[in-house]
C-alpha cells in the first residue's frame, strides 16, 4: 500500500472500533422485541453470499447442511447446548450472491421457511460489481431499496421476526490491494445502509468489522481474512462468537453467550 492508503486503512480501523461505543443500535433498549423461552421450537435462518454459504450441502444430509463457516459454528453451539428445545437451523447463503439475487429467491429461500430468527450478511459482491462490472452495479440507494424490500416482506410474513443484519467488510489483502481505496469506500457506503436499516427494522446489528479490527492487534489481517474478503477458520470463529454474543441480547435463553 502507499503511505496514503495505509493511513486511510488505519483511520478506518480506528473509526470502526469507535462505533462500537457510540452507535445507538448497539444499545439494548427496553422497547426492543425479545424472544423469551419459546413454547414452540424456533427456526433460525442464515442468508447471504459465499461467506455464509461456507460450501454448504444442497440436500438434507445433516453432516454438511450448514457448511463450514460462522453459520455452522454458531448453529452447532446452540444446537448442542439447547438440544431439548428441538431448534431448527437453515443455511441458504449462496456464493456470489448480491442483494438483487437475494430478492429474486426470497420467497422460496426465506419466507417459505418461516424463520423466527433471520440473519443476513450481504454486500461484498455488490461492491465487487462496482469494481469489476460497473455497468451492472447497483448504487447504494438502489442497494438500500432492494434490501428494504426483502426486510419488509419478511416482517410482513412474520411481524415477530427477529432480524440480525451483519455489516459487510473488506481488507487490503491479496487482489483487494489493487483497488483498496475503492473497495474500502464502497463497503463503507453499504455498511452505512445496513446501519440505517437495522435502526428502522429494530434489528440486531452484527458489527463484524469492529471484531476484525480488534483481532488485527493480535495478528495481521491475512491471518483472519485470507484474500481480503473471505475469512479463515480463525476469522469465521470470531464471527460466530460475535453473532452469538449479539443474538443473546434479544433471545433470553441464550444469555450464556452474552460475554
**Which pLDDT score, from 0 to 100, does residue 76 have?**
98
Alpha-carbon distance of 199 to 180, in angstroms, equals: 29
Q: How far is CA 210 from the centre of its chain?
A: 13
53, 110, 230, 248: the catalytic one is 230
Residue 134 exposed, middle or buried by CB count within 10 Å (0-12, 13-18, 19+): exposed
50, 73, 119, 210: the catalytic one is 50
**Which pLDDT score, from 0 to 100, does residue 33 have?**
80
**Which pLDDT score, from 0 to 100, does residue 12 have?**
52
List, in sequence order, every residue forming a beta bridge with 205; answer none if it has no partner: 165
73 — phi, psi (to 5°)? -60, -45
**Which pLDDT score, from 0 to 100, does residue 39 have?**
73
**Which pLDDT score, from 0 to 100, does residue 13 have?**
54
In the annotation, is 227 catalytic?
A: yes
Q: Residue 88: in which H helix or E strand, if any?
A: strand 88-91
**Which pLDDT score, from 0 to 100, does residue 16 have?**
43
Q: Where are the alpha helices (DSSP H) in the chain?
A: 3-22, 50-53, 70-81, 99-109, 124-132, 140-157, 180-200, 208-215, 221-224, 233-247
**Which pLDDT score, from 0 to 100, does residue 37 have?**
76
81, 109, 202, 227: the catalytic one is 227
- Looking at residue 48, the DSSP 8-state letter turns out to be E
In the annotation, is 149 catalytic?
A: no
- Which domains are assigned to the chain? 42-257 (3.40.50.1110)
List, in sequence order, every residue forming a beta bridge with 206; answer none if it has no partner: 166
Give CA torsion, residues 75, 80, 81, 83, to 10 deg.
110
**Which pLDDT score, from 0 to 100, does residue 225 have?**
98
pLDDT, one tens digit for every residue, the chain (259 residues) = 544 444 555 555 544 444 433 343 443 344 688 998 777 799 999 999 999 999 999 998 999 999 999 999 999 999 999 999 999 999 999 999 999 999 999 999 999 999 999 999 999 999 999 999 999 999 999 999 999 999 999 999 999 999 999 999 999 999 999 999 999 999 999 999 999 999 999 999 999 999 999 999 999 999 999 999 999 999 999 999 999 999 999 999 999 999 8
Alpha-carbon distance of 125 to 137, in angstroms, equals: 10
Alpha-carbon distance of 181 to 172, in angstroms, equals: 9
User: What distance, in Å, lies between the first and last C-alpha atoms of the chain?
Assistant: 36
- Looking at residue 253, the DSSP 8-state letter turns out to be G
Cell 419478511 belongs to 154
Amino acid at each position: 500500500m502507499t503511505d496514503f492508503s495505509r493511513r486511510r486503512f488505519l483511520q478506518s480501523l480506528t473509526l470502526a472500533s469507535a462505533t462500537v461505543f457510540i452507535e445507538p443500535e448497539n444499545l439494548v433498549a427496553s422497547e426492543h422485541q425479545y424472544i423469551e423461552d419459546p413454547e414452540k421450537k424456533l427456526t433460525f435462518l442464515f442468508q447471504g453470499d459465499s461467506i455464509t454459504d461456507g460450501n454448504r450441502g444442497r440436500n438434507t444430509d445433516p453432516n454438511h447442511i450448514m457448511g463450514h463457516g460462522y453459520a455452522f459454528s454458531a448453529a452447532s453451539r446452540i444446537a448442542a447446548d439447547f438440544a431439548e428445545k428441538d431448534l431448527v437451523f437453515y443455511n441458504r447463503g449462496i456464493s456470489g450472491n448480491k442483494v438483487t439475487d437475494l430478492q429474486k429467491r426470497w420467497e422460496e429461500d426465506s419466507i417459505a421457511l418461516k424463520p423466527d430468527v433471520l440473519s443476513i450478511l450481504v454486500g461484498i459482491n455488490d461492491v465487487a460489481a462496482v469494481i469489476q462490472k460497473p455497468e451492472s452495479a447497483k448504487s447504494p440507494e438502489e442497494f438500500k431499496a432492494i434490501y428494504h424490500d426483502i426486510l419488509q416482506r419478511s416482517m410482513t410474513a412474520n411481524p415477530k421476526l427477529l432480524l440480525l443484519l451483519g455489516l459487510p467488510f473488506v481488507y487490503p489483502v491479496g487482489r483487494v490491494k489493487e483497488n483498496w481505496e475503492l473497495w474500502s469506500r464502497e463497503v463503507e457506503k453499504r455498511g452505512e445502509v445496513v446501519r440505517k436499516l437495522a435502526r428502522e427494522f429494530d434489528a440486531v446489528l452484527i458489527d463484524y468489522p469492529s471484531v476484525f479490527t480488534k483481532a488485527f492487534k493480535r495478528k495481521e489481517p491475512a491471518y483472519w481474512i485470507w484474500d481480503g474478503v473471505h475469512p479463515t477458520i480463525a476469522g469465521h470463529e470470531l464471527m460466530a462468537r460475535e453473532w452469538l454474543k449479539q443474538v443473546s441480547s434479544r433471545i433470553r435463553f441464550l444469555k450464556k453467550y452474552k460475554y
